[in-house]
Amino acid sequence: MMNTELKRSIGFMTATAIVIGTVIGSGIFMKPAIVIDSTGNSTLALLAWIIGGIITLASGLTIAEVSSKIPETGGLYVYIEKVYGRFWGFLCGWMQTIIYGPAVIGALGLYFGALFAGVFALPKESELWIGIIAVLFLSVVNMLGSQFGGMVQSVLTAAKLLPIFLIIIFGVVKGNVPIFNMDSGNSQTISMGAAVLATLWAYDGWMNVGFVAGEMKNPAKTLPKAIITGILIVMFAYVAVNVALLHVLRADEIVALGPNAASEAATILFGAFGGKFIAIGILISIFGCLNGKILTFPRMPFAMATDGLFPFSKYLAHIHPTWRTPVFATLAQMAIAIVMMLLGNADRLTDIAIFSVFLFYGFAFYAVFLLRKSSLFNEPLSNEPLYRVPLYPFTPIVAIVGTAYIIMSTVLHAPLDTFLSIVVTLSGIPVYYAMTKKRQG
């Protein structure tokens, strides 16, 4: 019903920009040090970024077929519900609302606070509170009206690409540090799984374009093309940025600098003023990504509450009469995110977020096999043939194997966090049955 009320105005270029804009945020600047530290070697670090890109591309190619057969607003939540039923759809939405969304918002807030304090030489103790203030500020902006959040997002998306292009171009041209086989100085256990997991945080977000499928002119055709094109562009940019950083800074220097590596590289390339300018550009990138998440993530609890499938549905489904925004849904996401920020560090939150969402990504990738067997989804929605994932069944198998690899690596890397994530996700089961009984009553 919702789809018939939405204006179909989004074309291929806009959809591709959404993919790129929602993916590129903090990861490309915050994760290079962690990837190098985890692999212990610059060559293996670049390989980890490529592996993460291949898993993401295989995932995107696979989901593109699923999305072409289910071109509806809602993304992952809708895919799971349509293929596996309302129960699994609810668990997916519960996970995204209680764990994934707040963990992503919290991690971005903490990364913003850390970089902001580094750029302006503020005490380390201020990082947490700067991050919390950023989350509070953007939550208020987006509650005051979607036009304000959308306006902020448009400006910040355009600005975020500048530091990436400048670092790539000048880093490759002016750098003189050997790129390959450089030691990270890490004497700890090498973990390619942890490295790939870190890259997947940087690649994550591409599926968010599915939230606006109901507003695309020709979603069955536009959505797959946008996902594939956007992921390829992001993959190239990420590998190129890492090559540029390694050409300017030694691998062990990048590890030591951590989240400030990109700023330091910019200072070497462009001088103190230029370095500060690029660092501010990176801050804008993270701020814009954070704004986009706060703008979109409350749609999940709001949509579920509208269907009466969430606790306190009366409040979470409420739209402010003046601002016309889901105020309580936004407040709920903000509150959980801030609690997570107080309890965990940014890197821990990113691991929790990726593990939680990949639990359901695997179901979505396997859905392509089920949909091909279902006559219900084999009829074209227009005169044009439906998109088919290339190299079937190899491509979806790569996506599924990659998902299993990430899940197992995370279990071994952070068993407590994965256990808590699973417990919180499963806590949605009694909630589902309680809400279903309430609706029937």
**Domains: count for the chain:** 1
Q: CA–CA distance from 193 to each of 28, 34, 49, 375 (Å)? A: 18, 12, 11, 38
Residue 207 falls inside a structural domain? yes
- Which domain range does residue 38 map to? 12-440
Task: Judge whether 289 and 30 are in contact, CB under 8 Å.
Answer: no
Residue 3 falls inside a structural domain? no
Question: What CATH number does residue 372 fall under?
Answer: 1.20.1740.10
Residue 1 falls inside a structural domain? no
- Tell me the C-alpha distance between 316 and 302, whole Å: 6
Residue 7 falls inside a structural domain? no
- Tell me the C-alpha distance between 255 and 261, whole Å: 8
Nearest to 208 by CA among 221, 226, 220: 226
Residue 400 falls inside a structural domain? yes
Give the position of tokens 């071109």: 71
**Dihedral angle computed from the Cα positions of residues 198, 395, 361 and 328, in that order, rounded to the nearest 10 degrees:** 90
- Per-position pLDDT tens, the chain of length 441: 333 344 566 677 777 877 887 788 778 888 899 899 989 888 999 999 999 999 988 988 888 888 778 877 667 888 898 899 989 999 998 998 899 999 999 999 999 998 899 888 899 889 999 999 999 998 888 777 655 544 555 566 666 777 888 889 999 888 889 888 888 776 566 778 888 988 988 898 777 666 555 556 776 677 778 888 888 888 998 999 999 999 999 998 999 888 888 888 888 988 888 888 888 888 888 887 888 788 778 877 877 777 767 777 677 776 766 666 778 888 888 999 999 999 988 888 988 998 999 899 999 999 999 988 875 555 544 445 567 888 889 999 999 999 998 898 888 888 898 999 999 999 999 988 888 877 665
C-beta atoms surrounding 415 within 10 Å: 10
Residue 142 falls inside a structural domain? yes
Nearest to 104 by CA among 296, 258, 233: 296
Paired residues of 185 in beta bridges = none
Residue 124 falls inside a structural domain? yes
Residue 6 falls inside a structural domain? no
Structure tokens at 400: 């599924």
